[in-house]
Amino acid sequence: MKRKNAGILAALLSGAVLLGGCQETPDSVIVKPKGKEAIENYEEDKSREDSSEKQQGLREKLGIPETFQDKVVLEDGKVTLTTDAVIELPDAQSFSAIEVSAVPLTQEFMDKITQGLFPEEKMYSSDSYLVMTKEECQKKISEIKALMAQNPAGSGGGENNSKENLQNMLEQYESAYADAPDTAEKTETEPLLSADESGMEAFDGVVETQEPYLYRVSEGAGDSIRVRVSHYGEREAAQQGASWGEYQFARNNITSQIASEDEMKSSVGISYEDAKKLADEKVSAIGVEDMEIGSWDYAVYMYQDMETEEIRVSNTGYMFYYTRQIGNTPITYTISSGGGLEDMESTIEPWTYETLKIVVSKDGLEELFYTSPYEMGKTQVENVKLLDFEEIKQIYTEMMQYKVSNQMDNEYLKDYQVNIDRITLGYARIYNPAQDSRSGLLVPVWDFFGNSEMTLNDEAGTHDKSSIPNDSLFTINAIDGTIIDRGLGY
C-alpha cells in the first residue's frame, strides 16, 4: 500500500464510528441530561410491585428476541449496514441507577497495592536502576553504525532506518555515552508518593524480585489513579519499545506472521485455568472486590526488529480484562477507555473508565494496569424502568443509518460496510464533566459490537477491514434512549 493510501485509511478508520459530516441530526434525537442530573428523568419500574403476578425475566418483559437480523442499503448502494447478532443478557431481572465517584489517590491506597504485590521486596529509584552504562551506550552505538554501514545511502531500509533517523539516534547515544556512568549504582527508596515534575502525586520505582518489575503509581488529568506494574527482565531490557498486545487485534491489524490460534494455544506454555488463577490472586492481593473477567484474549509481546523493521513476537501469554459486577450484571467491557474531549481546546477535566488489565505468561505476572477505580455510592433508583427493545431497535436503526451514511461525505471513500454481530445489555458509567468530573452514574446500556469494511476511491481500489475485539460501535442508554459516546463517556 502506498504511504498516501495508508494515511487516508488511518484517518478514515479513526473516524469510522464517529458522527461526522454536515448533515443535520434527525429531529427524533433529543438531547437529554447524561450526568447525575439525569436521575430526575428515571422512573421506578412499578411492574414488580404486584407480587401476585409471576415475575418476568428481562427478555420476556422487554420483548427481547434471541437474535436480531436486519440489512439496510443506503447512498445508492455505497453504504451497507448489516445486523446479524446474538443478544446477550445478564442473569438479572432488573437494573438500578447507582452513583459512583473516583477513588482519590492517597498513600493509604498505594500502600494497599504495594503490600499486596510486593510485601517484602526492596525498591529502587527508577533513575538509578535504569540508567544506561557506558558499555550499554557503546553497544547501541555499534549497532547503529553497523546499520549505517549496511545501507550508506539510507534508502530501502524503512522509515526508522533512514539515514537521517539513524544519524539522530547515533548522536543521542553518543551524547548519553559522555554522561553515562561506568557502572549503575542502585539507590534504594521507599514507596512513597511525592509531587512529580507536573505537580501531580506519583511514585516511580523498580521492585527487585527474582526478576525486576517497574512500578509506577500516579494521578493525571484523565485518570484519577493510574497503577502500572511491568515485568522488566532481560527480554524487556533488550527489546526497547516492545509492548504486550491482544492476539486477535495484532493478527488482524498489525502482522499476519503471528501463529494461528491453535498454534498459540499449544505453544503458550500455561493453561487458561492456571493463568486465570494467578490473575485472580493478584486482583485479590491488591484488595479489589466485585470484579470478574469481562473479556480475555491470548497476548503477544511484540517488538520491532531494528534491522528489518518487521514486527516480531518474543513471548506469549493471556490478557485478562476485569470489570466490576453489580449483582449478577457486569459493567460491559469495551476497548474504549473513555475520558475523551469534544475538542482539543476544551478546558474540561476528563475522567476515564475504571480499567483493570492483567497479563500472565508461563513466566508469571507480566503486567498489571489499573486505572480510575470507582467508589460505589448510593443506589438512586433501585429498579429503574427500561425501554422496550422495540423502542431501542427503532433508535438504533434510525441513528446508525445516519451515522454510517455520514461516512460517504468523505471524498476518499468509495463504499463502506458496517457489520453488527453482537448486542449486549449491561452497565456503563456516564457523567457530566462540565459539572463534576469525578462523579457519575452507572446505568444500563445497550452496546452494539461489530466491525467495518471500506474501499477507497483510488486507482487501486484499496480495501481495508477494521476488526477490533470488543469494539462497541453504538451505545444506547436503556432507560431513556439517549446515545452515549463511548469515547467521551457521556
Q: What is the pLDDT of residues 113-156, one digit of tens each?
A: 999 999 999 999 999 998 888 888 898 899 888 888 887 665 44
Predicted local confidence at residue 84, as pLDDT: 98
Cα 346-484-292 angle, rounded to 5 deg: 105
Predicted local confidence at residue 158, as pLDDT: 53
pTM for this entry: 0.86
Predicted local confidence at residue 114, as pLDDT: 98
Predicted local confidence at residue 156, as pLDDT: 47
Predicted local confidence at residue 37, as pLDDT: 62
Predicted local confidence at residue 13, as pLDDT: 35
- Cα end-to-end span (Å), the chain: 37
- Residue 428 makes CB contacts below 8 A (sequence gap 6+) with 331, 332, 442, 443, 445, 447, 475, 484, 486
Residue whose C-alpha is closest to residue 394's, from 481, 489, 277: 481
Q: What is the pLDDT of residues 145-199, one digit of tens each?
A: 888 888 766 544 555 567 788 888 888 888 988 888 888 889 999 999 999 888 8
Q: What is the pLDDT of residues 322-364, one digit of tens each?
A: 999 999 999 999 999 999 988 888 888 999 999 999 999 999 9
Domain boundaries, the chain: 3-102+378-477, 107-127+186-372, 132-183
Question: Which stretches in the chain have pLDDT values below 70?
Answer: 1-38, 48-55, 152-161, 255-256, 307, 459-463
Predicted local confidence at residue 461, as pLDDT: 64
Question: d(Cα 36, Cα 13) in Å, to the nearest integer?
Answer: 33
